[in-house]
């Protein structure tokens, strides 16, 4: 037996454990950040789908008005035109609507769309039409031809993948065939 064999010292073992710990903690941090980013992306995708649904219902109301002005969905377009204003809604950084002008959101059942008044609410876990997601309408000045209405769709929610509120805004301009 040879007694001159040397093993690892206590300092070498401790350094190896420290290096391994740093690598493990770094990998876990990167994984948790990646998971949070994926959650934020999922929330934005879900809200974007709701926003696109609102846009499609607005277009449906306008297109129905073009085809048949006496259709109930066409009446919704007339109500949207009548309710639109030349001033935008104001809201603060916490997504609370201020002022007297109200937003709205659209719903669809069967083949008819309807306009619903938005009641301002605290941001939820995810924005859905009527709960953290609303539409504002701002029409063009009377002298502008062709007449149009800018629909601004706003969404606010308290995201689970990030600290603080998440917000997104989309605008769509629809030309008004009734003017």
For the stretch 32-78, pLDDT in tens is 989 888 888 888 899 999 999 999 999 999 999 999 888 887 888 88
Tokens of residue 81, six digits: 């035109």
Confidence (pLDDT) at 100: 54
Confidence (pLDDT) at 88: 61
Determine how β-strand 128-129 pairs with β-strand 112-117: unpaired
Beta bridge partners of 106: 115
Query: What pTM value is reported for the model?
Result: 0.78
Q: 154 with 91: CB under 8 angstroms?
A: yes
Tokens of residue 38, six digits: 């994926």
| pLDDT tens track, the chain, 179 positions | 566 667 778 888 999 999 999 999 999 999 998 988 888 888 889 999 999 999 999 999 999 999 988 888 788 888 888 887 766 666 666 666 665 567 889 998 887 888 888 887 766 778 888 888 889 888 888 788 888 999 999 898 887 766 678 888 899 999 988 77
- Cβ atoms within 10 Å of 41's Cβ, excluding its own: 11
- CA torsion, ordered 82, 84, 86, 89, to nearest 10 deg: 150
What are the CA-CA distances from residue 132 to residues 43, 72, 90, 107, 157 (Å)? 13, 27, 15, 15, 6
Give a three-class secondary structure readout of 30-88: HHHHHHHHHHHHHHHHHHHHHHHHHHHHHHHHHHHHHHCCCCHHHHHHHHHHHHCECCC
């Amino acid at each position: 037996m040879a007694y001159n064999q040397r093993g690892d010292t206590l300092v070498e073992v401790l350094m190896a454990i420290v290096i391994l710990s740093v690598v493990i903690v770094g990998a876990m941090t990167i994984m948790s950040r990646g998971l949070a980013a994926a959650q934020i992306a999922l929330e934005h995708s879900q809200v974007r789908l709701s926003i696109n649904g609102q846009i499609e219902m607005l277009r449906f109301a306008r297109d129905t008005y073009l085809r048949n002005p006496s259709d109930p969905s066409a009446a919704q377009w007339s109500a949207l035109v009548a309710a639109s204003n030349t001033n935008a809604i104001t809201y603060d950084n916490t997504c609370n609507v201020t002022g007297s002008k109200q937003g709205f959101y659209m719903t669809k059942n069967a083949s008819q769309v309807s306009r619903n008044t938005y009641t301002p609410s605290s941001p939820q876990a995810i924005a859905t039409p009527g709960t953290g997601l609303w539409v504002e309408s701002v029409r063009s000045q009377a002298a502008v031809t062709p007449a149009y209405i800018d629909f601004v769709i706003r969404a606010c929610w308290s995201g689970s993948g990030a600290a603080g509120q998440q917000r997104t805004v989309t605008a769509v301009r629809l030309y008004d065939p009734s003017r």
